[in-house]
Structure 1
Amino acid sequence: MSDDTANVTGYDYTDYYNGEMDNFAPCNNGNAKEFARVFVPALYSSIFILGFIGNALVLCVLVKHRNQTNMTDICLLNLAVSDLVFVISLPFYSHYSCVGHWVFGDFMCHFTSGLHSLGFFSSIFFMVAMTLDRYVVIMHALTVARHRTLRMGAFLSMCVWVLSLLISLPNFVLTEVKNISSVLHCEYKPESSDWRKYNLVTMNVIGLVIPLLVMIVCYSRIIPTLVNMRSAKKHRVVKLIITIVAVFFLSWTPLNIVLILFHLQEESDSSHDCNLKGNLTVAVLVTEVIAYAHCCLNPIIYAFVGQKFMRRVSRMMRMWLPCLTLFYPRDLSESFSRKASASSRSSEFTPTLVL
């Protein structure tokens, strides 16, 4: 949950507590409060359930077949863990939005905010890592094949987690429970405005602009190579690549734009415009839901589109739910095998490798 909109319980007394009492009249954020109380818990709960089930399934499949793990699987596993770390924080914020005050204590305020940030950045970074891995495999297959070892994958994963943790440290440390008008709030509002700007810059530049540029540059080189390959699957792969970039852009860009507008509004002369502030608060809440839903789509985009992964899912589901054999007596993996054999053998790349 964005720290700029954590206090949506009714009146905004921020200026009063900052000592700006001239012509003070608190803003009534009733619309934002009602939206947060009614819609946000339901939407966050839905994202949590779908995101948890989808990413947990990816995790189970990859762990079950850990003896066949490659670099792509390592990235997928870490991406699933990142999304799970992210969605774990949502039930706490769902309850916070519903009741209007924080009841989980100061430690959980620090911990939940830190997990939220850690899951966000690690998920973004592992998507970038997967993009770079696809790029070097397709564009420099002969020179990098010997370097794509499990040890290298583990080392890169550790580097990504450490980097994500370092970037998220301010959220672990500076988020705290504050008593405002006898109501407890879990907020990231450090005394120094530099830390607020740091949060805005990291989310927009490191969390959106740089990853988007990496995806655009890499995939703009990959797509022409795939198009020139003699493979029946190339059009499907190209469409999926475009989908990856489009979904990422459409999921996170609206939230980042609204957060920038929210920050500019607070720093401008219109900071006391209650209507504008209320509208921006609701806009942040809406775009947050859209952005957070991206963690539900990651398993679909990055895992379930692969033929090898779908065969594994099919076998595992039939093992867990034998009743499926009544409706699908033939193993679903056979259909994937037939489709794979019908594809051209002139290419050494498969959608599983590319995706």
Structure 2
Amino acid sequence: MVSSNCSTEDSFKYILYGCTFSMVFVLGLISNCVAIYIFTFTLKMRNETTTYMLNLAISDLLFVFTLPFRIYYFTVRNWPFGDILCKISVTLFHTNMYGSIFFLTCISVDRFLAIVHPFRSKTLRTKRNAKIVCVAVWITVLAGSMPASFFQSTSTQNDTGQNQHTCFENFPNATWKTYISRIVIFIEIVGFFIPLILNVTCSTMVLRTLNKPVTLSRNKLSKKKVLKMIFVHLVIFCFCFVPYNVTLILYSLMRTQIWINCSLVTAIRTMYPITLCIAVSNCCFDPIVYYFTSDTIQNSIKKNRSARTRDSRFSEIQITENFIQHSLQTLKAKIFDNES
């Protein structure tokens, strides 16, 4: 049980949230806008993997648009934007986090089917089926995120007697015991542990397939690309989502006052804001997954670079030719004046 004398000082989180969310807003806005532009206008050939990536970028961008409100709240420590916007902001936070987990899992499963079962999965790995899966993911994460937003708007009274509105925090322990803890259990099982098992299993099966004698004779360069994909994918997934979701379970146990002592309370209250900031940073890391997972995107970026290089060289040649023509015309004019 939590002792009433336990220290609950965690005011450092306001500065941490404000700085981290500001950085994520700038980087996430730029990187995901560029990613959506590439997916929508630059890519000529789209497949099921790019369909998952486009939806992942849209999910990131929707969450990024809510960050200015969070930055203001954690700077001023007051929520003046109303109850509805608080619920929308919380819903989009959970939608982005667990939508990112699901879409990254879809990419991992798609890569597993393409490498381990290339012939059997031809009928499954279609753009139509990928769109159906994306719709199912959106419905699932929205249905799971909305109940969590019902408790996210509270109003407390500060020392001056004025009403100070809060969002994202300060829920009573009774609410945690009766409602929020159950939501956390559901979210963790469906939104984290099952996708984690799928990601690890699919990546392990892909590695086993690549190490078979039949596949060892393949192009070493393509094998290195696949290994790099798996490494980047797992590192980003584990770095962003594992610490936060594990800490969220401990935080829920702490709030429901189950076998928690004071030293553990202090550690959890310190780790929770840090792991939350790491989880939010997935908006900036997802474009790295796009680059390393899709050869189509890499080729598109390389083509754009080469096209810009050709255009710059062509413009330089044009400038040189114009200069030569102008010099010849000037020389001819001088010769004509001398002869006359």
State TM-score, norm by structure 1. 0.74
Partner Cα separation in structure 2 for residue 40 and residue 305 of structure 1: 30
Per-residue CA shift, 1:249-275, capped at 9, x if unaligned? Answer: 1322222232222222333378795x7
Residue of 256, 265, 273 corresponding to 1:267: 256
1:94-145 Cα shifts (integer Å, max 9, x gaps):
2211111112111111111111111112111111111111111222221221
Structure 2 counterpart of 1:223, one-letter code: L
Aligned to 1:105: 82
Give structure 1 stretches of 5+ with no counterpart.
Answer: 1-22, 330-355
Partner of 1:218: 202
* Distance of 1:235 and 1:26 partners within structure 2: 52
Identical aligned pairs, as a percentage?
25
CA contact (8 A) 1:252 1:291 kept: yes
CA distance in 2, matches of 1:211, 1:127: 9
What is the alpha-carbon distance in structure 2 between the residues aligned to residue 297 and residue 25 of structure 1? 40
- Aligned residues of 1:36 and 1:98 also touching (Cα < 8 A): no
Residue 44 of structure 1, aligned match among 21, 36, 52: 21
Aligned to 1:302: 290
User: Is the counterpart of residue 60 in structure 1 residue 37 in structure 2?
Assistant: yes
Any stretches of 5+ residues in structure 2 without a counterpart?
317-340
Q: 1:198 aligns with which of 182, 191, 206?
A: 182
Structure-2 change in CA distance of 1:101 and 1:316 (3 Å): farther
Residue 231 (structure 2) pairs with residue 231 (structure 1): no
Q: Is the CA contact (8 Å cut-off) linking 2:51 and 2:131 kept in structure 1?
A: yes
Q: Distance in 1 between matches of 2:253 and 2:130?
A: 41
Is contact 2:32-2:60 (8 Å) kept?
yes
Q: What is the correspondence of 1:135-146 to structure 2 with a 5 Å cutoff?
A: 135-146=112-123
Report the equivalent of 1:90. Answer: 67
Alignment of 1:144-223 (within 5 A): 144-181=121-158, 182-187=163-168, 189=171, 191=175, 193-223=177-207
Per-residue CA shift, 1:42-92, capped at 9, x if unaligned?
111111221222122111101004652111110111111122223333322
| Contact 1:47–1:296 (8 Å) recurs in 2 | yes
Residue type at the aligned position of 1:224: R
Amino acid at match of 2:250: L
Q: Could you tell me which residue of structure 2 aligns to residue 335 of structure 1?
A: none
The one-letter code of the counterpart of 1:221 is M
Distance in 2 separating the partners of 1:116 and 1:98: 18
> Does the CA-based 8 Å contact 2:108-2:202 persist in structure 1?
yes
Q: 2:290·2:297 contact (CA, 8 Å) conserved in 1?
A: no
RMSD after superposition: 3.1
Q: 1:292 and 1:269 mapped to 2: Cα distance? A: 28
Whole-Å separation in 2 of the counterparts to 1:176 and 1:55: 29
Q: Give the corresponding residue for 2:279.
A: 291
Q: How many angstroms apart in 2 are the aligned matches of 1:237 and 1:119?
A: 26
Q: Deviations over 1:182-211 (max 9, x none)?
A: 321114648473421133223432332211
Name the larger-Rg structure: 2
* Whole-Å separation in 1 of the counterparts to 2:128 and 2:45: 14
Q: 1:142 to 1:307 in 2, by over 3 A?
A: closer
**Alignment check: 8 A CA contact 1:85 1:118 kept:** no
Deviation at 1:288, TM superposition (A): 1.1
Contact 1:131 1:218 in 2 (8 A): yes
Structure 1 87/137 Cα, relative in aligned 2: closer, same or farther at 3 Å? Answer: same
Question: Per-residue deviation at 1:276?
Answer: 5.5
Measured at CA, do residues 135 and 178 of structure 1 come closer, stay the same or move farther in structure 2, by a change above 3 Å? same
